Amino acid sequence: MPEDELEDLPGVGPATADKLVENGFESYQSIAVASPGEMSNTADIGESSASDIINAARDAADVGGFETGATVLERRQEIGKLSWQIDEVDDLLGGGIETQSITEVYGEFGSGKSQVTHQMAVNVQLSKENGGLEGGCIFVDSEDTFRPERIDDMVRGLDDEILADEMERREIEGTPGSEEAMEELIDAFLDQIHVAKAFNSNHQILLAEKAKELAGEHEEGEWPIRIVCVDSLTAHFRAEYVGRGELAERQQKLNKHLHDLMRIGDLFNTAILVTNQVASNPDSYFGDPTQAIGGNILGHASTFRIYLRKSKGNKRIVRLVDAPNLADGEAVMRVQGEGLKPE
């Protein structure tokens, strides 16, 4: 949106419009879904003025009102489904990972959470006919888990028909059997994965804001951002806020971070995929004592919750724990050198 259109809002002159754009409030919709406190803090605008600007933007953008179920259904037709390339898991998830939603994957160390984020960073770039979303990936790395070598392995692990389609889409000469063509294709995949390492929780929160800016920059381009992966969501928060005395502050910051991520999903039709650590519940005498950390804040914010559990060898149990419109259930997959594969 050109800056001069923001000046149509009451109380927004050229200087205020510049401040809004610099801080990511580039459209009526992004202003309409902000809070007065957030705008006041980030754009250095008085809270009363921010409230007036937000209300005017809500009227102009026509958000915040009621709509019929039929209208909601029509809008949901825009939601994309990102395939795992594993039929059993896709069936469990109703077609795959949804855009405009937060999908949480939790499990103990070595269960394959990071493998899922790497695989989705590849799968999201595939054509829609092949289960992808024809878009790029933002990867927020808080545990130093991102490895371009894994992307290399997973691209090579794609079916030959999919590889041939991708080479044609990206105008790469050659066949999947040509090492030179494969290396060019792998570089093309890596070019559409935007990685940032988060050094602490505050930096991680800042990176979510930067991710929103990056998604906005790419929205009209050839490769719009269609997935944001955060691996892991909770590691820094868990390490920095220790003990019950700091629990409330931790949960408050985590809540804000989740809402920032959800806003990216809503504004740009993007899937949000986060991994989560677990803790063992010593009070559990029956069943699996493993519990996801993050408490009710994360439980309520996540639209889909998936529990990854180790099985024999490279087998993993994918258990759907919570979803608004799907039954709980389990599927089996393998974590192999060439990526996630059917049993």
Say if 109 falls within a structural domain: yes
- Tokens 């029956």 label which residue? 286
pLDDT > 70: percent of the chain: 95
User: Do 222 and 172 belong to one domain?
Assistant: yes
Residue 42 lies in a domain: yes
147 within a domain of the structure (yes/no): yes
* Residue 66, in any domain of the structure: no
CATH of the domain at 23: 1.10.150.20
Judgement on whether residues 167 and 39 belong to the same structural domain of the protein: no
Q: Same structural domain for residues 227 and 125?
A: yes
Q: Which residues are annotated as a binding site?
A: 107-114
Give the three-state DSSP class for 102.
Answer: strand
18 — pLDDT class (breaks 50, 70, 90): confident
Which range of residues forms the domain containing residue 130? 75-341
Cα–Cα distance, 106 to 287 (Å, whole number): 17
Strands (DSSP E) along the chain, which ranges?
81-82, 97-98, 102-106, 136-141, 193-197, 225-231, 271-276, 278-280, 290-292, 304-310, 315-322, 329-336, 339-342
> Does any domain span residue 68?
no
Mean pLDDT of the chain: 90
Whether 100 shows a pLDDT value over 90: the answer reads: yes
Total domains in the chain come to: 2
What tens digit of pLDDT does each residue of 127-147 get?
999 999 999 999 999 999 999
Examine the domain organization and report whether 56 and 181 are in the same domain: no
The verdict on 209 and 118 lying in the same domain is yes
User: Cα(230)–Cα(246) distance, rounded to whole angstroms?
Assistant: 23
Residues 296, 162 share a domain: yes
Q: Which of 62-66, 106-110, 160-164, 215-219 has the lowest mean pLDDT?
A: 62-66
33 and 92 in a common domain? no
Residue 329 counted as domain residue: yes
Nearest Cα neighbor of 92 from 275, 328, 279 is 328
Residues 145 and 18 in one domain: no
Residues 251 and 319 in one domain: yes
- Clarify whether residues 334 and 192 are in a common domain: yes
CA distance 228 to 99: 10
CA gap 298, 254 in Å, rounded = 8
Which segments are annotated as binding site for ATP? 107-114
pLDDT at 281 over 50: yes
| Stretch 101-124: mean pLDDT | 96
> pLDDT band for position 1 (50/70/90)?
very low
The vertex-105 CA angle with 99 and 106, nearest 5°, equals: 160
Task: Tell me, yes or no, whether 180 and 51 share the same domain.
Answer: no
Q: Examine residue 195 and state whether it is found in any structural domain, yes or no.
A: yes
Average pLDDT over residues 226-230: 98
| pLDDT tens digits, one per residue of 186-227 | 999 999 999 999 999 999 999 999 999 999 999 999 999 999
Return the CATH number at 273: 3.40.50.300
Do residues 47 and 144 both lie within one domain?
no
